[in-house]
Amino acid sequence: MNALKAEVVISPSGSLDVLSQQEVAKLMDAGHGGVHDLLRRCSLAVLNCGGEIDDARQVFRMFRNFEIELVQQERGIKLRLSNAPAAAFVDGKLIRGIREHLFAVLRDIVYVTEEIANRPEYSGPGGATEAVFQILRNADVLRSRTDPNIVVCWGGHAISREEYDYSKAVGYELGLRGLDVCTGCGPGAMKGPMKGAAVGHAKQRLADGRYIGITEPGIIAAEAPNPIVNALVILPDIEKRLEAFARFGHGFVVFPGGVGTAEEILYLLGVLFNPANAQLPFPLVLTGPESSAPYFAQLDRFLRGSLGDKVAERYEILVGDPAEVARRMLTGMAAVKTYRRSTGDAFFFNWRLAVEEVFQLPFPGDHESMAALELSRSQPTHELAANLRRAFSGIVAGNVKEHGVRAIEARGPFEIHGDVEVLEPLDELLRAFVRQSRMRLPGVEYTPCYRVVR
């Protein structure tokens, strides 16, 4: 992959174009809490759109000479890029969508640094939820006069062509019904539904289709925002990213995936196990082509085996029928609308969803925290779900996040301990992910970053 050697100065597009002198100083000071490094890394990830590497360290190594600088002017700011990926440009001009994403990165980093980080009101009970709301509102993705219509689509970045085409077909059916799509914004099952929905919206002459991407700094380099995303939001950590999905979306569709997808499912089911959420309409469909039926059967066995059969009451498995998936989402939207209207809750943010602190606390995903996880059926179900979510989160870090990859290289695989009745279905599922090449992009040899200790 070639880099554009000449310097390029970029004008704002889509969002933030005015900064104070203090904000500029912080962003350009490499020693100020790593803010400049964070800006550089997230910006490079956005510019590397379409890259076929899911190893953050390799991306940063390939473009180690990339640099970004803020140019402060009387009328606002511009960005000076040096040695940026050539694929982000056409005839020397930065692609418009990528330019919008670049300034979305700037907007969210500035806002979180100045308004969210180290503020006491955003810590403790309720603080994380308020932070998520403020970040989404600042990104202008909350719509106050719109009926529920956002379908969150989850699934792996390393999926087969058949699974990708199926995710596109589901997105197409969603688009035909006027539903918008929100994903983790990367490739694979995050891109397919958006691509299909764009065609469905076009056929219905819907010019304002929304394709919202929600990501976080640790994952963005491995799963760079795909070009269809027209609203990008960067949350400060994976826990706030997951809560943003849960509160922002109205219905959920899950395609085949690996440990990241399993983490998302466990987060959602763990939250829904809270008795306070028992009456909350929350449409959740697990789907894929007919060939993925064994995948979902095994996932179902894992969830029932670790969390109990009652967990299956909160999801539906439906394979091989994209139109029916879309119809289930449409029916779910009606139920969500009725419920929120009857309870006085907002359509644009699920305030009534109870999210316990165990699902909000950032998990470091290092050797000590992974080894200390308690995985036992004697725990309350929501706590076991939270710890299983953390185990998968740690594996994601060891697979693709820079700090996790470094830790594995230095100290070997993470160790996962627990009761046999929990570890057996977990080990079986992880082995299946490895066999099916769901841990890394196709063609990349995978060495497990974990060891299940029975």
What confidence tier does 233 reach under pLDDT thresholds 50, 70, 90?
very high
pLDDT value of residue 12: 63
User: Any idea what the CATH number is for the domain that residue 76 is in?
Assistant: 3.30.1850.10
Based on the fold, state whether residues 284 and 381 are members of the same structural domain. Answer: no
Based on the fold, state whether residues 62 and 89 are members of the same structural domain. Answer: yes
Based on the fold, state whether residues 109 and 145 are members of the same structural domain. Answer: no
State how far the alpha carbon of 168 is from the alpha carbons of 162, 318, 388, 439, in Å: 10, 16, 30, 21
Rounded Cα gap, residues 422 and 428, in angstroms: 10
Would you say how long the chain is, in residues? 454
Does residue 265 register a pLDDT over 60?
yes
Secondary-structure percent of the chain, ordered helix, strand, coil, rounded to 5: 50, 15, 35
Burial 88-120 (b: 16+ CB within 10 A, else e): bbeeeebeebbbbbbbbbbbbbbbbbeebeeee
Rounded Cα gap, residues 225 and 237, in angstroms: 16
* Residue 421 belongs to some domain of the structure: yes
Does residue 27 register a pLDDT over 90?
no
Based on the fold, state whether residues 332 and 376 are members of the same structural domain. Answer: no
Cβ contact 56:235 at 8 Å: no
What confidence tier does 241 reach under pLDDT thresholds 50, 70, 90?
very high
- Summary mean pLDDT of the chain: 88
Between residues 7 and 419, which one has the greater pLDDT?
A: 419
The total number of structural domains that make up the chain: 3
* Residue 332 belongs to some domain of the structure: yes
Q: In whole angstroms, what separates CA 298 from the centre of its chain?
A: 23
Which of the 8 DSSP states describes residue 221? T
Rounded Cα gap, residues 280 and 352, in angstroms: 8
What confidence tier does 375 reach under pLDDT thresholds 50, 70, 90?
very high
Reported pTM: 0.91
User: Any idea what the CATH number is for the domain that residue 299 is in?
Assistant: 3.40.50.450
* Residue 281 belongs to some domain of the structure: yes
Cβ contact 308:381 at 8 Å: yes
What confidence tier does 195 reach under pLDDT thresholds 50, 70, 90?
very high
Based on the fold, state whether residues 152 and 237 are members of the same structural domain. Answer: yes
Average the pLDDT over each of 23-32, 205-214, 301-310 and give the range with the smallest value. Answer: 23-32
Based on the fold, state whether residues 182 and 286 are members of the same structural domain. Answer: yes
Between residues 51 and 394, which one has the greater pLDDT?
A: 394
Rounded Cα gap, residues 58 and 17, in angstroms: 31
Residue 387: which domain range? Answer: 362-453
Pairing between strand 251-254 and 284-288? parallel
Based on the fold, state whether residues 188 and 83 are members of the same structural domain. Answer: no
pLDDT value of residue 439: 77
* Residue 302 belongs to some domain of the structure: yes
* Residue 17 belongs to some domain of the structure: yes
Instruction: Return the beta strands (E) in 89-247 as ranges.
Output: 89-90, 93-94, 150-154, 180-183, 211-215, 231-234
pLDDT value of residue 29: 63
| Consecutive H or E run containing 252 | strand 251-254
Based on the fold, state whether residues 324 and 372 are members of the same structural domain. Answer: no
Rounded Cα gap, residues 320 and 295, in angstroms: 13
Based on the fold, state whether residues 147 and 226 are members of the same structural domain. Answer: yes
* Residue 224 belongs to some domain of the structure: yes
Based on the fold, state whether residues 163 and 241 are members of the same structural domain. Answer: yes
Based on the fold, state whether residues 150 and 235 are members of the same structural domain. Answer: yes
Look at residues 87, 118, 149 and tell me which one is the last residue of a structural domain. Answer: 118
Based on the fold, state whether residues 154 and 242 are members of the same structural domain. Answer: yes
Between residues 388 and 41, which one has the greater pLDDT?
A: 388
Does residue 121 register a pLDDT over 50?
yes
* Residue 366 belongs to some domain of the structure: yes
What confidence tier does 261 reach under pLDDT thresholds 50, 70, 90?
very high
* Residue 298 belongs to some domain of the structure: yes
Q: Give SS3 for 356.
A: coil
